[in-house]
Structure 1
C-alpha cells in the first residue's frame, strides 16, 4: 500500500463520515451503533467492502421517504446487523479457527 492509497482511503473515509453526519439524528445514532457493533463482530472485509456505504445509502433513502429508522430495520439493531453479515467471514470465526486448529496453543 503506497502513500497515494493511504491518502485516497482517508479521503473516501472523510466523505463517508460527512454523509453520515448529513443523516437525521435518529438515523445517525442507529448508524453509529451499527458501526460500533460491526467493528466488534463484523466481517473481515468491513473497511474495504461496500457494507457501511450501503447502509448509509439505505438510511438516506429511508429518511428521504419520511420513514423512521426503526421502521426500516426493526427494533433489534444487532439482529439486523447479523442478518447483513450472515454470509461473511467474521473476525470471531477467524479467531475460533485459529484456536481450534491442532498444534496451536
Structure 2
C-alpha cells in the first residue's frame, strides 16, 4: 500500500463521514451503533467499505422518503446487523477454526 492509497483511503473515509453527518440525528445514532457493533463482530470484508457505504445509501433513501430509521431496520439493531452479515466470515469464525472448534453459527 503506497502513500497515494493511504491518502485516497482517508479522502473516501472523510466523504463517508460527511454523508453520515448529513443524515437526520436518529439515523446518525443508529448508524454509529451499527458501526460499533460491526467493528466488534468483525466481518472480514468490512474493510472494503461496501457494507458501510450500503448502509448509508439505504439510510439516505429512507430519510428521503420520510421514514424513521426504526421503520427501516426494526427495533433490534444487532439483529439487523447480524442479518446483514449472516453469510460473511468473521474474525470470530477464523479464531474458532484456529482452535479446531466448530463455527459458532450454523
Q: TM-score, normalised by structure 1?
A: 0.93
Aligned length: 101
In the TM superposition, residue 2 of structure 1 has moved relative to its aligned partner by: 0.6
- Residues 59 and 69 in structure 1, CA contact (< 8 A), matched pair in contact too: yes
Unaligned runs of 5+ in 2: 102-106
RMSD: 1.0
Matched with 1:58 is 58
Match of 1:93 in 2: 93
> Whole-Å Cα distance in 2 between the matches of residues 55 and 42 of structure 1?
16
Structure 1 unaligned regions, length at least 5: none
- Cα shift readout 1:47-81 (whole Å, capped 9, x = no counterpart): 21410000000000000000000000000000000
C-alpha distance in structure 2 between counterparts of 1:88 and 1:30, whole Å: 21
Which structure 1 residue ranges, 4+ long, deviate > 4 Å from structure 2?
A: none
TM-score (norm 2): 0.92
C-alpha distance in 2, partners of 1:49/1:17? 12
Contact 1:42 1:85 in 2 (8 A): no
